[in-house]
Amino acid sequence: NTHHHHHHNHHHHHHDQPPSAHNNDNRHKTSSTAAAAPPQAAASLNQSSTTRVAATTTSGSQNSGSQDDSGGDEPLGSRSRPPPNCLALKIIKNIGKYREAAKFEINVLNHIKKPASSDNLNEITEAGRRLCVQMLDWFDYHGHICILFEMLGRSVFDFMKMNHYQPYPFQHVRAIGYQLTLAVNFLHKNKITHTDLKPENILFVNDAYDIEYPNNRLNSKVKQYLVVKDPTIRLIDFGSATFDDEHHSKVVSTRHYRAIEVILELGWSQPCDVWSIGCILFELYTGITMFQTHDNREHIAMMERILGTIPWRMATRSKTKYFNRHGWLIWDENSSTGYYVRRNCRPLRHYMTSHTSEELDLFDLIDLMLTYEPNQRITCSQALRHPFLDVRSRSKTEVQPGWTPSY
């Protein structure tokens, strides 16, 4: 029953590669490339298991539901409003294991669709549902499973890369963090763990941006700073999402966002998503990956340097080989990697660029999300009430975030 966790077989590549600031080749490639591709890409499906095609429907009012060229049954279902002009088509490789994985993703996507009846729905949960990408339809074309989605913009990762890894503006860190927590809270309430939260899987609905030329950047090589106009996002890639009652594979998540309990093989559930959100918030604020490594032992050493010592009971409960019987990490401070970790990692709050009350709130939340013991870690629904994310808990004198999610 190892079904949809096929992507986790690439997790341990590049062990011997020196960690680099943001070498994208190191970042986990799933079977789903989200590169927009021209329609003829269907011919070159062997590059990856999936290709994303921008499918344009004819604009104008004639497509308001009468799609009679579809052979009677309308593939999109009769929707009252016309479909948006652009849709994204995810085409899966015609290979058994990828087809299997796609079926699992479709199962989750069906599960998170809007319910038929709208009574007794929780407002917070529904807001979170809208932030998860909506599948419009799927079909099997000669063995290629094709999934139709709303068209979205660049990922939060690609936008930051395009911006030369300059961090997001503080209010955008909050806006993205709030929506991400809301979306994941919805999944958790529905007994689902996403397991692969990372900046690549968070997409802007519209990635149009303004260019700023700050005066204080005269010394820096990068003279311009891109600011997205609307930080509304969608969470994507449910190919690794796992239901509570389903088999939980041993290794989940992309390396940099993988929770301590997963590395220590102590079992995992919803809290492992919260750990990933903590890593993501840090990355949006600083522009750097918190744990830039490809090795478990080094990863744990980085955690201890940034977050403090792993609790004795977790270290001793773990059957892995990283700790001695007293619960101390077996680690040579004076080796080259020991030196690398000491030089490149600092205790968490050293990464704050200034100490405003808002930034203290952010780092307090990151700290709570990166609590080692999963059962003591903050939950998504608690995080939504944390001062960093909860508008109501901040004083009225403070500037409120100037955005509202445009669903």
| pLDDT tens digits along 267-286 | 999 999 999 999 999 999 99
- What is the pLDDT at residue 291? 99
- Each residue's pLDDT tens digit, 141-152: 999 999 999 999
In this prediction, residues 24-48 reach a mean pLDDT of 42
Tokens of 264: 């220590």
Question: Which strands make up the sheet holding 32-37, listed edge to edge?
Answer: 32-37, 50-56, 86-92, 144-150, 135-141
Asked whether residue 228 carries a pLDDT value surpassing 70, the answer given is yes
Write down the mean pLDDT value for the chain: 83
312 vs 328: CA distance, rounded Å: 8
Q: What is the percent of the chain where pLDDT is above 90?
A: 69
Burial string for 96-113 (b: 16+ CB within 10 Å, else e) reads eebbebbebbbebbeebe
- The pTM of this model reads 0.80
CA distance 403 to 206: 14
Q: Which pLDDT belongs to residue 222?
A: 77
Q: How far is CA 218 from CA 6, 162, 211, 228, 353, in A?
A: 47, 19, 16, 22, 19
pLDDT at 394: 59
Residue 258 has pLDDT above 90, yes or no: yes
pLDDT tens, position by position, 51-84: 555 554 333 333 333 333 333 444 444 334 445 5
E strands present in 100-239: 135-141, 144-150, 192-193, 202-204, 209-212, 225-228, 233-235
pLDDT for the residue numbered 255: 97
Task: Write down the pLDDT at residue 114.
Answer: 82
Q: What is the C-alpha separation between 177 and 290, in angstroms, rounded?
A: 16
Among 62-71, 104-113, 229-238, which stretch is predicted with the lowest mean pLDDT?
62-71
The pLDDT assigned to 54 comes to: 52
Residue, of 403 and 360, whose pLDDT is higher = 360
Task: Please give the domain boundaries of the chain with CATH numbers for all domains.
Answer: 85-151 (3.30.200.20), 154-238+247-406 (1.10.510.10)
Q: Does 37 have pLDDT greater than 50?
A: no
Residues taking part in catalysis = 196
User: Does residue 396 surpass a pLDDT of 60?
Assistant: no
Chain position carrying tokens 């529904």:
126
